[in-house]
Structure 1
Amino acid sequence: MAQFSLSDSKYDLSKLRSEEIFWRDHQTWFQDCGYMLRPRYMPDWKPSWLDNTRSIEHEDAQPLLRGDIINDATRLSDGAYVTLKILKPSVHPYEVDIATFLSSKQLASDPLNHCVPIYEVLRVPGDDDKVIIVMPLLRGWDEPEFETVGEAVDFFRQLFEGLQFMHKHHVAHRDISILNVMMDGSMYPDSWHPCDRDQMRDNFLVPAKRFSRTERPPKYYLIDFGLSRRYDPEDKAPLEVPIRGGDKTVPEFQKDIHKPRNPFLTDIYYAGNLIRLGVMKEYKGFDFMQPLISDMVQDDPAKRPTIDQVVKHFAEMRKNLGALKLRARVGPRDESLGAVRDFRHLFATIKYTLKGIPPVPIR
């Protein structure tokens, strides 16, 4: 069931893994700061499955997926679920400043802001090179899959808006990739378990309840500003020595890696390539995006559009998409049983239409 495919014979789940020790040792401090970790990280934790039941079926048998830097917690003040991320300023000296700037009070209310909110920055006692940023609990932008073209169109819009917001405030992300875009829990009224996002948080054996994106539209967020940089507003075309992020395919990084490049134009490639690989390559029905995406991923950075031009082009293209196209079912390119899914989708479409739910989700 669990996404990390553990088996009792291979792992002793009754013992914390090395990357989990930090969280247990700092549990009391986190609690004093207002955040409660899950039972597995209590100082006096004892496995709940010592009655000879299968350990993998128990919530406290689930080790962290990226325990070296990521954990989740419950905020004691209001019960909200949050993500805790460890940062090392010696490795990413600008991340905290940029992340907190983008979620600062004066910028947080901007509807175009799709940068992950930073609720708080915690300084780990006794370690000058370790801080914790507190963020909302998020999940991957593509889980579950899109059901309609309109749902994907809403994703494209929010991604472009978020990048436009960053560039407007003279910040280049420099690492937009499939892993660095996420969404909130709007679709999941009771949240989900951080170690298996298909399951309930409080009852690991029960599937997490969810609505479609059309019914409960999510907000998408850009995350991870470890490679991001903020530039002087007077510098309209800054140059920066490339740093390879998660997407290794950037054309201008394939030759002369030491030649400074305009990071804003690289961001355009990153965003376009995310859509090309994460949506258009995986699903049918997005040929209408081809002209724009082709422009965004051109080999010559100077020929790529600015983000303002991308937003304008996309808005014009969106006007030409009718309700029938927007409500059309999104199908994986390699799917089977498509006819059966089309039949089911017809009933969902009728339901949404009768309820007056628009084909492109509106928050």
Structure 2
Amino acid sequence: MVGRDIILKVIQKDSPQHHIFQTLLQHQSLFTDPRTFPGVLPPIDIIETPHKYSIVTMPLWGTYPCLTEMEDVRQVLTFIRCLLEGLSFLHANRIAHRDICDSNMVVSCYRPDRDQKRFGGDLRELRRGTDIRYAFMDYDQSIQLPLDVSVKHCRRPSREAWMGCDMYKPLDVSLGESQYNPFAFDVAMLGNMFRAYLSEAIPTLPALAALFDGMTTHVVSRRFSADEALDFFKSNIQLLPQEVLVAPVTLEFDYEMMYHPERYWSKLAPPVQARWNQFRAPPLPRWWHFLNWLMQLPACTRVVEWYCDFRDIPAPAGMYPLPFNLILKNVPRVREQEGLAMNLARAMGVPAPRFISFAEPPPDYYFSDGIEPDDQVDFDVIKDDLVHILTLMRSFSSPWGSAICGVDGGPVAGPLVPLTPLQASPDEAAFYQLMRHLGSFELKDKNETAGAEKFFALPPHAIVFTHGDLNRHNIMVGPDGHITGIIDWEAAAWLPDYWEVSVTAILPQRHWGRFMNETVTSGIYAEEVVGHREMFSFIGDSLRF
């Protein structure tokens, strides 16, 4: 391995993940030939230790492969083929991945200096050739079953479906089902990822609509297996003339395509739709449409209150648990932007509830998935999870450039935002100028405002996606001690990177604020926390959340 860049992963001995890596090692000959590469990141070796853990060595590949920057049809098809081959290989070895998301795929391109801007340029050049490969990785949530288990008829307890990232999860266990098929679940998760990223390619490649629906239909018995999806791809999509392969595509991530497939079918002419109609998924179950109809009724809140009383379900003010693991939120300040923020967070890989629908007026409320809390907290585990979540949230650039604004580019709202909802600012300097105006700095002695002015004079900060109220009561923890969900996204916005920490630490005596400032972010925002407190002393009277 001289001169080879590798990554190391520590795994527990005799764990499911350990056995999966041992299985992959048995297929090393496939990984050395590009023609047989099976679409999973190959282990190079497993280093056994005298302790309870082993160390897996793997080649170093790049993460977060900027899928919306693919430029033509051939690049899109390469991506689809690699991942279909990867899932087919895993399922052939009866490995159910169970955690398919952006952060668990890699690309055969990386930079040792981790310069993301240059990585993007390198990746664009590599995509224009024929050597690029994509692969699955990370088997923390995976299981391996005996080879005689049928991938079409396998059944496992439905509670296992809630493991891993839920960004692309289908509806297979949304009706209270007691069992599910983890292999079909994998296929639907990958299909939903394709839907969200690649729907703009459908007018050029109509068969993609059929492939996506075949992989994601809620009728599980009709859903493609991984092998069937790969066969469909090879038979109907892979072999295209050169003029189609070089056709340009402009991709954009659209999470709603997962729930409104009629939008991408509508891009096709009726005769083209008819050709692929046998693969088109039937409409969603009636209960889904019933809930969306119900929430448009002014009496909806009273019906929900009656249901909670009838079932003796305790509910905080304005929060109503519903069947099918749903929650209705009805409070005076609820805004549709909160739902948009939840779906944006989920698209980034953050465990947030799924926003289903919003209605106004009256009353204002939205439906979302329910996430149950658990009060047992291991702060070391929470710290690691929060670091991972914040890294995910900060790995995406704001579509609004340097503006400080809401998720939709509009006003900013939140418990520590003055005059909320506060008008958007074109940049950080303009935001601080607005704070000066709200704090009446021009009427105060310069010595009095010196601390805040020192804060305003700090170097510009990155503008990142921010929850805005990341306090303990908004973090749900599962029985294993890991974060299972982050709720209450009404303060989410594009804000300076320190804001996520400083708003929790405004009061120095609060343990959680110290934990966020000193432990989660290792004190790198110490100056900003002090400065935010200084600023807060001038704008506190204008808070009205």
* Structure 1: tracts of 5 or more residues without a match: 1-76, 186-190, 201-206, 335-363
1:243 corresponds in structure 2 to 161
The change in CA–CA distance for 1:89 and 1:319 in structure 2 (over 3 A counts) is: closer
Q: Contact 2:74–2:245 (CA<8 Å) still a contact in 1?
A: yes
Task: Tell me, yes or no, if the aligned pair for 2:38 and 2:89 is still in contact at 8 Å.
Answer: yes
SS of equivalent residue, structure 1 residue 243: helix
Which residue does the alignment assign to 1:280? 199
Give the deviation of 1:94 after TM superposition: 0.8
Task: Tell me by how many angstroms 1:208 deviates.
Answer: 5.6
Residue 303 to residue 194, structure 1, CA distance change in 2 (3 Å)? farther
Q: Which position in structure 2 is the counterpart of 1:118? A: 43
Contact 2:28 2:42 in 1 (8 A): no
Could you say what secondary structure the match of 1:212 adopts?
helix
Change (3 A) 1:170 1:319: closer
In the TM superposition, 1:281-296 aligns within 5 A as 285-296=204-215
C-alpha contact 2:202 2:209 (8 A) present in aligned 1: no
Shift of 1:290: 0.9
Alpha-carbon deviation of 1:105?
4.3
Say whether 1:266 aligns with 2:190.
no
Equivalent-residue separation in structure 2 for 1:194 and 1:225 (angstroms): 26
Return closer, same or farther for 1:117/1:319 CA change in 2, 3 Å cut-off: closer
Structure 1 residues 286 and 197: alpha-carbon distance in aligned structure 2, compared to 1, 3 A threshold: farther
Is the contact made by 1:122 and 1:131 (CA closer than 8 Å) also made in structure 2?
Answer: yes
Q: Tell me, in whole angstroms, the C-alpha distance in 2 between the residues paired with 1:282 and 1:319.
A: 14
Is the alpha carbon distance of 1:143 and 1:94 closer, same or farther for their aligned partners in structure 2, counting shifts above 3 Å? Answer: same
Residues 168 and 267 of structure 1: is their aligned pair in 2 closer, same or farther, counting only changes over 3 Å? same
Higher relative contact order (CA 8 A, sep 6+): 1
**Aligned counterpart for 2:62 among listed residues 101, 125, 139:** 139
Instruction: Give the Å deviation of 1:209.
Output: 8.5
Choose the corresponding residue for 2:236, options 302, 317, 323: 317
Alignment of 1:92-131 (within 5 A): 93-105=15-27, 108-109=30-31, 111-122=36-47, 128=52, 130-131=53-54
In structure 1, C-alpha distance between the alignment counterparts of 2:196 and 2:9, rounded to whole Å: 27
The count of corresponding residues between Structure 1 and Structure 2 is 243
Structure 1 match to 2:543:
none
Partners of 2:214 and 2:229 within 8 A in 1: no
Cα pair 1:95 1:225 within 8 Å, conserved:
yes
Q: Is the 8 A contact 1:103 1:118 kept in 2?
A: yes
Tell me the distance in 1 between the aligned counterparts of 2:94 and 2:123.
Answer: 40
Alignment-mate amino acid for residue 23 of structure 2: F
Query: CA offset at residue 98 of structure 1?
Result: 0.2
CA offset digits 1:114-153 (Å, max 9, x no partner):
221112234567x63x443221111136337212111110
Going from structure 1 to structure 2, the CA distance change for 1:270 and 1:107 (only over 3 Å counts) comes to farther
Query: What SS is found at the alignment partner of 1:253?
Result: coil
Percent sequence identity over aligned pairs: 22
Alignment partner of 2:131 out of 174, 196, 217 = 217
Equivalent residues in 2 for 1:143-158, closer than 5 Å: 143=66, 145-158=69-82
Q: Is the 8 A contact 2:16 2:143 kept in 1?
A: yes
- Provide, for residues 236-258 of structure 1, a one-character-per-residue CA deviation record: whole Å limited to 9, x for no partner: 2322222322134321132326x
Q: Determine which structure has more spread, i.e. the larger CA radius of gyration.
A: 2
Partner Cα distance (2:227, 2:79) in 1: 17
Among 135, 145, 152, which residue is 1:231 paired with? 145
State the AA in 1 paired with 2:172: E
Within 2, Cα distance between the matches of 1:209 and 1:233?
37
Say which is worse superposed, 209-218 or 142-151, in terms of deviation.
209-218
Residue 212 of structure 1 deviates from its aligned partner by: 3.4
State the SS of the aligned residue for 1:221: strand
Do 1:284 and 1:333's aligned partners in 2 also have CA atoms closer than 8 Å? no
2:180 is paired with a residue of what secondary structure? coil
- 2:101 aligned with 1:177: yes
User: Compared with structure 1, are the counterparts of its residues 278 and 124 closer, same or farther at alpha carbon in structure 2 (3 Å cutoff)?
Assistant: farther
Contact (CA 8 Å) 2:207, 2:237: kept in 1 or not? Answer: no
TM-score computed with the length of structure 2 as normaliser: 0.40
Q: Which residue of 2 aligns with 1:253?
A: 173
Contact 1:161 1:311 in 2 (8 A): yes
* Runs of 5+ consecutive residues of structure 2 not aligned to the other structure: 254-545
Deviation at 1:199, TM superposition (A): 3.9
Residue 490 of structure 2: aligned partner: none
Compare the two structures and name the one with the higher helix fraction.
2
Distance in 2, matches of 1:209 and 1:262, equals: 36
For residue 58 of structure 2, what is the amino acid of its counterpart?
M
> What is the CA-CA distance between 1:108 and the residue it aligns to?
3.6
Distance 1:208 1:302, change over 3 A: closer
